[in-house]
Each structure stands twice: as structure tokens, then as C-alpha cells.
């Protein structure tokens, strides 16, 4: 049986004023798209940074493929792809050169770099922008480059924070296809988003986060995801206030 791709057990990271992540349990199974939804400030990005080792939990544990994060080696991290907050690109390098650098950083061999980068450019339809410096790209095309960099090495665990930011409708469709293909091939994918309708279309599981905690689940494909989401958040706010 395949190991859980991503797992948090009682993950806690507190900031002044009470913000942060408070005792979160979460799993991402191989072959699924698990969506994490919540209002701004709910703790989604903090949780994703904990899952990727960008932050250390005050308490609790995070595992990748069953391996505790502090002991995860290069072989584990080579199987991870991520885009958290804004795409990391070198402004003066072209889109292609940025992807070549990303491929090398992610362990793609020199002999395979050209093939892998060409495939990523084709998948995200970046051919017209491949030789344009990143500083001249629109927000949406920089986002496509960031997504291509996160996905080009065919990772088995993928963490994407608001991956639809800046994308036009065609870009959203390309992203949906790219994620579904990888999930069908066995990757475990965690996606945060405030686009509830889009999440309901692509997710196999949807977890709702509020005030740093997982407060419930939503049914993928539901008729009125926005209403279901706000009912869960309001009920939690009322319960915490009482």
C-alpha cells in the first residue's frame, strides 16, 4: 500500500495575537486532489509552509511519504513540487531559462533538461513567451511559469497555494488538466483556493479551514459550494464566540 503523500498530525504554529495553525490533522493521499479552502487569514498558507518545511511546527508532526520532515532527505524532496504565494523567477532570465534552472534544482539530469522543459512549455502553452524575460511577462504568464516549474519533474506530492491567481479562463483549464493528469498517475495534490466553484469541479476532497483549524468538509460537486462554505464558517465563528 502506498504511503500517504502528505500528513500533518496535530500541527501547531502560533503567532502573536492568536493567529497561526492550531492542532491541524490533515492527509493527502496518493492519487487525490485535496482542496483547502478558507477566508483570508484562516491559516492556509501557514499550514502549507509547515507542510513544506518552510516553517517548523511548535508542536505536532509533518510527514512526507511517511518520513518525518526533519529526517527527510534529498530523495524525498526530489518527489515534491510546490508553489506557495508568488512564483519565484529570475527577472532577467527568459521563461525557458527559468524552467531550465528549476529543472536542474529539482534533480533533472542535464541530458533530460531540454526534453522536460519543452514538455512543460507545451503543457502550459508558453511557447510564445519562452524567450521573453520574466520581468516582461504578465502576472498570468509568470504564474504559468511558476506552475510549470513546480510540475515539470512530475512530483509525487504537490502543494499549490492559490494556483489560479492571475490565470485567465484558458489558463485555469490548463491547470485543471495538468493537476488531474498527475492525480490520475498517482500524485497526491494539496491545493488552496478561494475560487469555490473551481475547487468543487476538480477536488476529490475539500477541507474547510477557519481560525487556524480544520472545521469541516465540503462535498465535491455540490450544488451551492459558496453557501455550504459560509454556513460552516459562520457556525464555527458562532461556536467560538459562545
pLDDT at 180 over 90: yes
Structure pTM? 0.94
Mean pLDDT of all residues belonging to the chain:
94
Domain closes at, from 154, 187, 207: 154
Instruction: Let me know whether 72 and 92 are in one domain.
Output: no
- For 46, the domain range is 1-79+156-242
Instruction: Let me know whether 182 and 232 are in one domain.
Output: yes
What lies within 8 Å, CB to CB, of 10 at 6+ separation is 23, 24, 25, 59, 60, 61
Instruction: Let me know whether 37 and 114 are in one domain.
Output: no
Q: Which residues of 131-143 are buried (b: 16+ CB within 10 A; e: fewer)?
A: ebbbeebeeebbb
Q: What is the pLDDT of residues 150-164, one digit of tens each?
A: 999 999 999 999 999
CB atoms within 10 A of CB 41: 12
Q: What is the pLDDT of residues 52-81, one digit of tens each?
A: 999 999 999 999 999 999 999 999 999 999
Looking up cell 504564474 gives 143
Q: What is the pLDDT of residues 224-235, one digit of tens each?
A: 889 999 999 999
Contact (CB, 8 A) for 206 and 180 = no
Q: Total structural domains in the chain?
A: 2
Instruction: Let me know whether 143 and 170 are in one domain.
Output: no
Instruction: Let me know whether 166 and 148 are in one domain.
Output: no
Query: Tell me, what CATH number does 161's domain have?
Result: 3.40.50.300
Instruction: Let me know whether 115 and 53 are in one domain.
Output: no
Amino acid at each position: 500500500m502506498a504511503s500517504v503523500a502528505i500528513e500533518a498530525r496535530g500541527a501547531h504554529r502560533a503567532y502573536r495575537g492568536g493567529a497561526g495553525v492550531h492542532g491541524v490533522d490533515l492527509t493527502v493521499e496518493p492519487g487525490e486532489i485535496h482542496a483547502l479552502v478558507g477566508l483570508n487569514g484562516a491559516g492556509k498558507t501557514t499550514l502549507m509552509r509547515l507542510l513544506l518545511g518552510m516553517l517548523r511546527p511548535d508542536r505536532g508532526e509533518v510527514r512526507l511519504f511517511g518520513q518525518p520532515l526533519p529526517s527527510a532527505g534529498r530523495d524525498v524532496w526530489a518527489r515534491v513540487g510546490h508553489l506557495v504565494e508568488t512564483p519565484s523567477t529570475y527577472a532577467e532570465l527568459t521563461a525557458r531559462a527559468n524552467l531550465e534552472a528549476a529543472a536542474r534544482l529539482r534533480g533533472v539530469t542535464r541530458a533530460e533538461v531540454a526534453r522536460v522543459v519543452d514538455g512543460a512549455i507545451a503543457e502550459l502553452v508558453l511557447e510564445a513567451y519562452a524567450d521573453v524575460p520574466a520581468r516582461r511577462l504578465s502576472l498570468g504568464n509568470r504564474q504559468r511559469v511558476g506552475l510549470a516549474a513546480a510540475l515539470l519533474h512530475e512530483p509525487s506530492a504537490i502543494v499549490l497555494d492559490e494556483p489560479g491567481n492571475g490565470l485567465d479562463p484558458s489558463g485555469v483549464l490548463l491547470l485543471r488538466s495538468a493537476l488531474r493528469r498527475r492525480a490520475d498517475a498517482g500524485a497526491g495534490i494539496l491545493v488552496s483556493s478561494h475560487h469555490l466553484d473551481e475547487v468543487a469541479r476538480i477536488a476529490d476532497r475539500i477541507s474547510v479551514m477557519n481560525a487556524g483549524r480544520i472545521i469541516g468538509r465540503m462535498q465535491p460537486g455540490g450544488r451551492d459550494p459558496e453557501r455550504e462554505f459560509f454556513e460552516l464558517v459562520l457556525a464555527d465563528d458562532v461556536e467560538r464566540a459562545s
